[in-house]
Amino acid sequence: MSTFTLIGDHTKANKAGKAMAFSGATIGLSALIGPAFGGAMAARAQIETVFMIVAGLFALTGVLSIWFVSESYKKSERGQVQLKDLSRLLRNRPLIQASIAAFSLMMSNGTLSFPLPLHLESVGFTTSITGGLMSLFAGVALIIFLTPLNKIYNKHDPMSLVTTGLLFITIALLFLSQVATLTYLGLAMVIYGIGFAFVFPSMNQLVTLISTQKERGKAYGIFYAPFSLGAVAGSSLA
């Protein structure tokens, strides 16, 4: 949450979408590399090494943040934030829309991770295919995040991208429930990846655009509450 607040504070409004795309790419890369690395180390019975490396990465990130990331929030501004500011944010329509999008996106992710292996098994595939399909959607999202395709975030209204992205995800989930061949399953995950790439940076961009620097931390706090709730609700309900 604080990371996205800092990105919003240090980025010009017309560049916020692309900045959020790059941050989304780092999350996608970690989702691709982390499980594969952890699994490989666990297979070698070196589980403790995984924890030590991750702890080292956190420590290194902390040190680099102190050296290279400047604080965007002044101590003198702390007393200026009042309860009425929070109340106003809770009634802000774009923030509500972004929060609903965040809940929907993470609920789809949580739901997907549970029934997809079961569906694959029911149509004759091993559950190991699940990892490949999930990597496919992440790879498609990364391509959009990191290539010139990311210009769409500066050219188009973020709310329209969120709406389009959610439509893509809806189509992908419906498609996944009906197909039984690996080619079509892969196509469904490509569609899902496009939808994810449209939604994730755009909903974060919305929060940045509707909030001032003084209240941005609270805005992201409100936004990430349904974001986290969606991740829990999706897998639990599934």
What's the whole-model pTM score?
0.78
Selected residue with higher pLDDT from 67 and 171: 171
| Phi, psi for 115 (deg, rounded to 5) | -80, -20
State pLDDT tens for residues 145-165.
888 888 888 888 889 999 999
Enumerate the H helices of the chain as residue ranges: 2-10, 16-43, 47-68, 83-90, 93-113, 115-122, 129-146, 152-155, 158-178, 182-210, 216-237
CATH number at residue 161: 1.20.1250.20
State pLDDT tens for residues 96-140.
998 999 999 888 888 787 778 788 888 777 766 777 787 888 889
State pLDDT tens for residues 10-62.
566 556 566 667 676 777 677 667 666 666 666 666 677 778 888 888 899 88
Q: Which domain range does residue 15 map to?
A: 2-237
What is the structure's pLDDT at 179?
83
What is the structure's pLDDT at 66?
81
Q: Kindly report the length of the chain.
A: 238
Number of structural domains in the chain? 1
Angle at alpha carbon of residue 37, lines to 35 and 42, rounded to 5°: 90
Q: What is the CB-side half-sphere exposure of residue 70 using CA atoms within 13 A?
A: 5
What is the structure's pLDDT at 4?
61
What is the structure's pLDDT at 59?
92
